[in-house]
Structure formats: C-alpha cells, structure tokens
Amino acid sequence: MLRQAVHRWRAAALLPALCTIGLLGATTRATAAETSPPPGNNGAYLASRLLPSKSTKPCTRKIAPIYEADAIVTGTDMRQRPWGFAQTLREVLVKVSGDPRLKNDPRTEELAAHADRLVACFAYLDLMAATPLHDDQGTADRPHRLTVSFEPAKIDAVLADFGERPWRGARPVIVPVLLVHGRKPPPYVLSAELPAGEEQRAAFANAAGEFGIKVRLPSEAELAKWGAAAEHFPYPEAKAPASAAPGEAVVVGTLDWSETLPGWIGSWRTRWHGADHRWGIEGVNYDAAFRDIVGGVVLLASGRGRPD
C-alpha cells in the first residue's frame, strides 16, 4: 500500500521539484492555527538543507476517525497544504454524513476553498523516510501523507447548514462477490486468498476507508457455498446471497476490462432490508469501480438515497 501511495504521488505531482540536499524529519506536526509558514522555517534554507515545518503540539484530545482523512502531498510547506485540506474535507463530509453526493456538491466546493477554518490539527508522515539518500536522491521534494483532523462540532454545523445530519447508525461491512475478467485470462472470483487479487483487495480496503466503513473479502469456502466460481458465476442475474454474519452487505457483480472504452465495466447487485438494488459504472479504473460499490451501499445504509 505504501508503494501504491508513492506511485500515485509521482503520477499526480503538478508542482516543480525544489532542488536542495536532503529533507530533515520524517514526521512533522502542526496545529490548525499554523496555516501560514513560520518565519525562517517553513520552506527556508539553512546550511543548504530544506527544513520541514516547525513541529508543534498535536491534537490535545481524541477525535473520532470519521472526522479524519488523509491526502498524499508534496513536501510539508504551504504549496499543497490547502489542496490537501480541501481533499480531506470532502472525504470527511461524506464519511460523517453517509452521503457520497456531497463530495462534488457545489456547496462543498465553495467550503473547501477555506477548509483550514474547520481543521483541528494535522500531521505529516514522510512516505520515503526509510529510503536511503544516494547521489541526487532526496534533492527533490518527497511525498508525504497529510493526515487532517477536523473539528467535529464545526463539521456537524456545516452538515446542518446543508440540510444534512451526521450518520450515527451502525455501518455495514461490505462483502463483495465479484467475477473479474481482466486484461489477460483467466478470469477469477476475487477472494481473501487469491494471489492475483492482492492489489484489488488493498484498493477495496482503501475505497471503504474513504467512506468510513469496512470491507471483508469472502473466503474460497464461502464462495464455493454460494456457487460462485469462475467457471460458473450466476451473479448478478441471480440475487445476492444472504450473509451468515449480521451487519454485512453482500454485493455481487462482474468487473470486466474493456479495451474500447478503455476502462473497467462494473455491474453490481445487492439486497438491503429486503429490497433488491442494481447499479453499475463503466470507463473507470478499479479504484473508482470499488468506490462505486461502496458508495452505493453507503447511500442505502445511511438512508440518504439509493444507487439505482
């Protein structure tokens, strides 16, 4: 997962590299009030080295995980901090409310421009802290995981202004039963043990975390009990089987790679409180496909809507 985060940062970095030697400090903490760089520290040069943000005290109280989110940013100064605050605010509003539609809501977009006003505290983690520096390595800014904690009372107040409310009910565990036709044969059913599904399992867990819920991949034994095999896969034409464990939402479907789009085509089906629901997505990577599954279940479980 760390390797995936670094790859995503390298692909998404839009700012030019800042040339210097070494970046000191693997982890930097700061409070929300410190949204402007302190004189002589943040991004300043000293003895040909780039100093990290000045370390201050962390959050003095425990904040519930649904009010926290992460973003991968470049460096620890102000160049990408506002962007990181905006991204994490969108995720937190969705997690707390249970309404995935808030992520791209125009009101959220306007609020995200001033996300720092809602921040309780934040911290940086250098994702390449364990990587030794050789020759010119480390002369460019490094990727960091920015973890942002928002003030719960302020987030709840924002939701009230939006006509929403926090989702306080029990959150289901998603159990996906998916037949995958990838770029190369053979097809396979995603399970907890299958070696070919390692990256997809990690992506599914990340997608669920963005919505504040959990995912559990079924075992090979469970799939056999449900009659789900690559050679014979009755879903999503057949209804989703009921899970033996309470609080679980079984989602069945197919995930097919298309060279013509290009991208993945997903078709999903689940039962929630006795009602059958079908929806899907196409032309996306599998991260987005998994977010579509999770977002659909979240809409149903939170009572905010339905995906179909």
pLDDT in tens, 266-284: 999 999 999 999 999 999 9
User: 174: exposed, middle or buried (C-beta count within 10 Å: 0-12, 13-18, 19+)?
Assistant: buried
More confident residue, 22 or 242: 242
Mean pLDDT of 48-72: 69
What are the pLDDT digits (tens) for 223-262? 999 999 999 999 999 999 988 788 999 999 999 999 999 9
Q: How far apart are CA 112 and CA 91, in angstroms?
A: 11
Contact (CB, 8 A) for 94 and 210? yes
Q: How far apart are CA 128 and CA 120, in angstroms?
A: 26
Q: Cα dihedral angle (31, 34, 35, 38), rounded to 10 degrees?
A: -140
Confidence label for 28 from pLDDT (cuts 50, 70 and 90)? very low
User: pTM of the entire structure?
Assistant: 0.79
Mean pLDDT of 197-217: 96
pLDDT score for 179: 97
pLDDT score for 135: 55
Residue 23 has pLDDT above 60, yes or no: no
User: Any residues with CB less than 8 A from the CB of 202 and at least 6 apart, and which?
Assistant: 1, 4
For the ranges 22-31, 94-103, 233-242, the one whose mean pLDDT is highest: 94-103
Residue 8 has pLDDT above 90, yes or no: no
Dig out the tokens for 162 from the structure: 């939006």
